[in-house]
Amino acid sequence: MPFGAHETMEVHEILNEKMNLIEHFALYGQMAQSPAVRDLVSRHLQTAVAGYDQLVAYTHDYSAAKAPGAGMPGFNSGIRPEQIQYGLDRPAPMAPMLQGALNDRQILAAVLSCHKASAKNHMQACLECADPNVRRMLQQGANLCAEQAYETFLIMNQQGLYQVPTMQDHTAKTFLHAYQPSNPGPAPMM
Protein backbone atom coordinates (compact mmCIF):
# COMPACT_ATOMS: atom_id res chain seq x y z
CA MET A 1 0.00 0.00 0.00
CA PRO A 2 1.72 3.23 -1.08
CA PHE A 3 1.63 6.48 0.83
CA GLY A 4 0.88 9.72 -0.96
CA ALA A 5 3.55 12.41 -1.14
CA HIS A 6 1.69 14.75 1.22
CA GLU A 7 1.07 12.15 3.89
CA THR A 8 4.65 10.83 3.63
CA MET A 9 6.02 14.31 4.31
CA GLU A 10 3.45 15.05 7.02
CA VAL A 11 4.11 11.76 8.84
CA HIS A 12 7.85 12.45 8.55
CA GLU A 13 7.29 15.84 10.25
CA ILE A 14 5.12 14.32 13.00
CA LEU A 15 7.64 11.54 13.70
CA ASN A 16 10.45 14.11 13.92
CA GLU A 17 8.34 16.22 16.27
CA LYS A 18 7.48 13.18 18.41
CA MET A 19 11.17 12.22 18.64
CA ASN A 20 11.99 15.74 19.82
CA LEU A 21 9.10 15.68 22.31
CA ILE A 22 10.20 12.27 23.66
CA GLU A 23 13.79 13.40 24.08
CA HIS A 24 12.74 16.63 25.81
CA PHE A 25 10.24 14.91 28.10
CA ALA A 26 12.94 12.44 29.16
CA LEU A 27 15.12 15.41 30.18
CA TYR A 28 12.22 17.19 31.89
CA GLY A 29 11.51 14.07 33.94
CA GLN A 30 15.09 14.08 35.21
CA MET A 31 14.97 17.78 36.09
CA ALA A 32 11.52 17.93 37.70
CA GLN A 33 11.60 18.55 41.43
CA SER A 34 7.98 17.88 42.34
CA PRO A 35 6.71 14.28 42.33
CA ALA A 36 3.48 15.48 40.67
CA VAL A 37 5.42 17.09 37.81
CA ARG A 38 7.64 14.00 37.45
CA ASP A 39 4.54 11.78 37.33
CA LEU A 40 2.84 13.95 34.69
CA VAL A 41 5.95 14.05 32.50
CA SER A 42 6.48 10.29 32.90
CA ARG A 43 2.90 9.46 31.88
CA HIS A 44 3.00 11.85 28.94
CA LEU A 45 6.37 10.41 27.88
CA GLN A 46 4.96 6.86 27.90
CA THR A 47 1.98 7.98 25.80
CA ALA A 48 4.24 9.80 23.33
CA VAL A 49 6.46 6.73 22.94
CA ALA A 50 3.39 4.52 22.38
CA GLY A 51 2.02 6.91 19.74
CA TYR A 52 5.41 7.17 18.05
CA ASP A 53 5.84 3.39 17.99
CA GLN A 54 2.32 2.87 16.64
CA LEU A 55 2.84 5.30 13.77
CA VAL A 56 6.29 3.86 12.98
CA ALA A 57 4.86 0.32 12.98
CA TYR A 58 2.15 1.32 10.56
CA THR A 59 4.58 2.99 8.18
CA HIS A 60 6.70 -0.17 8.21
CA ASP A 61 4.10 -2.88 7.71
CA TYR A 62 0.59 -1.48 8.28
CA SER A 63 0.26 -3.67 11.40
CA ALA A 64 -0.60 -0.88 13.84
CA ALA A 65 -4.03 -0.33 12.31
CA LYS A 66 -5.07 -3.86 13.27
CA ALA A 67 -3.26 -4.09 16.60
CA PRO A 68 -5.38 -4.60 19.72
CA GLY A 69 -5.78 -1.31 21.54
CA ALA A 70 -4.77 0.65 18.44
CA GLY A 71 -6.87 3.53 19.75
CA MET A 72 -4.79 5.47 22.24
CA PRO A 73 -6.47 6.06 25.60
CA GLY A 74 -7.78 9.52 26.28
CA PHE A 75 -7.61 11.63 29.39
CA ASN A 76 -10.74 12.24 31.41
CA SER A 77 -10.09 15.05 33.84
CA GLY A 78 -13.38 14.82 35.75
CA ILE A 79 -12.98 18.56 36.25
CA ARG A 80 -16.07 20.75 36.38
CA PRO A 81 -15.86 24.34 35.08
CA GLU A 82 -16.35 25.77 38.57
CA GLN A 83 -13.13 24.04 39.70
CA ILE A 84 -10.98 26.18 37.38
CA GLN A 85 -9.43 29.19 39.06
CA TYR A 86 -10.41 32.26 37.07
CA GLY A 87 -9.00 35.74 37.44
CA LEU A 88 -5.59 37.19 38.08
CA ASP A 89 -4.07 37.11 41.53
CA ARG A 90 -0.92 39.21 41.44
CA PRO A 91 0.83 37.23 38.68
CA ALA A 92 4.55 36.95 39.29
CA PRO A 93 6.83 38.85 36.90
CA MET A 94 8.40 36.58 34.30
CA ALA A 95 11.45 36.86 32.07
CA PRO A 96 13.54 34.30 30.19
CA MET A 97 16.02 32.53 32.44
CA LEU A 98 19.41 31.61 31.12
CA GLN A 99 20.52 29.06 33.71
CA GLY A 100 21.44 25.46 32.88
CA ALA A 101 18.60 23.69 34.70
CA LEU A 102 14.85 24.06 34.47
CA ASN A 103 12.50 24.50 37.41
CA ASP A 104 9.03 22.91 37.59
CA ARG A 105 7.28 26.02 36.23
CA GLN A 106 9.55 26.03 33.19
CA ILE A 107 9.07 22.29 32.68
CA LEU A 108 5.28 22.57 32.86
CA ALA A 109 5.29 25.54 30.48
CA ALA A 110 7.47 23.59 28.02
CA VAL A 111 5.26 20.49 28.27
CA LEU A 112 2.17 22.63 27.66
CA SER A 113 3.75 24.32 24.63
CA CYS A 114 4.85 20.97 23.21
CA HIS A 115 1.36 19.51 23.51
CA LYS A 116 -0.35 22.56 22.02
CA ALA A 117 2.00 22.64 19.03
CA SER A 118 1.79 18.89 18.57
CA ALA A 119 -2.03 18.90 18.60
CA LYS A 120 -2.05 21.56 15.88
CA ASN A 121 0.59 19.77 13.83
CA HIS A 122 -1.13 16.39 14.11
CA MET A 123 -4.43 17.85 12.90
CA GLN A 124 -2.78 19.76 10.07
CA ALA A 125 -0.99 16.57 8.98
CA CYS A 126 -4.22 14.58 9.24
CA LEU A 127 -5.89 16.90 6.75
CA GLU A 128 -3.24 15.98 4.15
CA CYS A 129 -3.59 12.19 4.45
CA ALA A 130 -5.29 9.85 2.05
CA ASP A 131 -4.61 6.64 4.01
CA PRO A 132 -7.53 6.25 6.45
CA ASN A 133 -5.41 4.53 9.10
CA VAL A 134 -2.70 7.20 9.11
CA ARG A 135 -5.45 9.81 9.21
CA ARG A 136 -7.09 8.13 12.22
CA MET A 137 -3.77 7.80 14.07
CA LEU A 138 -3.00 11.47 13.49
CA GLN A 139 -6.51 12.49 14.64
CA GLN A 140 -6.06 10.40 17.79
CA GLY A 141 -2.65 12.01 18.30
CA ALA A 142 -4.18 15.48 18.01
CA ASN A 143 -6.93 14.63 20.50
CA LEU A 144 -4.51 13.04 22.94
CA CYS A 145 -2.16 16.02 22.78
CA ALA A 146 -5.11 18.34 23.40
CA GLU A 147 -6.15 16.28 26.45
CA GLN A 148 -2.59 16.20 27.81
CA ALA A 149 -2.27 19.96 27.27
CA TYR A 150 -5.44 20.39 29.32
CA GLU A 151 -4.13 18.11 32.08
CA THR A 152 -0.94 20.20 32.18
CA PHE A 153 -2.99 23.41 32.26
CA LEU A 154 -5.02 22.07 35.20
CA ILE A 155 -1.89 21.42 37.28
CA MET A 156 -0.52 24.84 36.39
CA ASN A 157 -3.86 26.51 37.15
CA GLN A 158 -4.15 24.77 40.53
CA GLN A 159 -0.64 25.92 41.43
CA GLY A 160 -1.34 29.50 40.31
CA LEU A 161 1.18 29.18 37.44
CA TYR A 162 -1.44 29.59 34.69
CA GLN A 163 -3.93 32.26 35.59
CA VAL A 164 -7.00 32.80 33.43
CA PRO A 165 -7.79 36.48 32.81
CA THR A 166 -11.46 37.39 32.85
CA MET A 167 -13.69 40.19 31.59
CA GLN A 168 -16.50 41.84 33.44
CA ASP A 169 -19.53 39.58 33.08
CA HIS A 170 -21.62 42.17 31.23
CA THR A 171 -18.75 42.78 28.76
CA ALA A 172 -18.40 39.09 27.93
CA LYS A 173 -22.16 38.64 27.58
CA THR A 174 -22.56 41.77 25.45
CA PHE A 175 -19.73 40.61 23.20
CA LEU A 176 -20.92 37.00 22.80
CA HIS A 177 -24.66 37.68 22.78
CA ALA A 178 -24.21 39.68 19.58
CA TYR A 179 -24.28 36.28 17.85
CA GLN A 180 -27.83 35.11 17.27
CA PRO A 181 -29.29 31.79 16.11
CA SER A 182 -29.45 31.46 12.34
CA ASN A 183 -33.23 31.08 12.50
CA PRO A 184 -34.64 32.61 15.68
CA GLY A 185 -38.22 31.65 14.82
CA PRO A 186 -39.86 28.23 14.85
CA ALA A 187 -38.39 25.60 12.58
CA PRO A 188 -40.02 25.55 9.14
CA MET A 189 -42.32 22.64 8.30
CA MET A 190 -41.05 20.35 5.60
Lowest mean pLDDT among 79-93, 115-129, 142-156: 79-93
By the 8 A CB rule, do 155 and 108 touch?
Answer: yes
pLDDT of residue 20: 92
pLDDT for the residue numbered 156 = 94
Q: What are the pLDDT digits (tens) for 16-56?
A: 899 999 999 999 999 999 999 999 999 999 999 999 999 88
User: What secondary structure does DSSP assign to the chain, as a single string?
Assistant: -PPPHHHHHHHHHHHHHHHHHHHHHHHHHHH--SHHHHHHHHHHHHHHHHHHHHHHHHHHHSGGGTSTT-SPP-------GGGS-BB-S-PPP-----SSS--HHHHHHHHHHHHHHHHHHHHHHHTT--SHHHHHHHHHHHHHHHHHHHHHHHHHHHTTSS-B----HHHHHHHHTT---S--SPPPP-
Output the average pLDDT for the chain: 83
The pLDDT confidence band at residue 11, using thresholds 50, 70 and 90, is confident
Q: What is the pTM of this model?
A: 0.75
Structural domains in the chain? 5-67+103-176 (1.20.1260)
More confident residue, 110 or 168: 110
pLDDT at 72: 46
User: What pLDDT is stored for residue 76 in this prediction?
Assistant: 55
pLDDT at 68 over 50: no
Between residues 154 and 76, the one the model is more confident about: 154
Q: What percent of the chain has pLDDT over 70?
A: 83
Please write the tens of the pLDDT for every residue from 101-129. 899 999 999 999 999 999 999 999 999 98
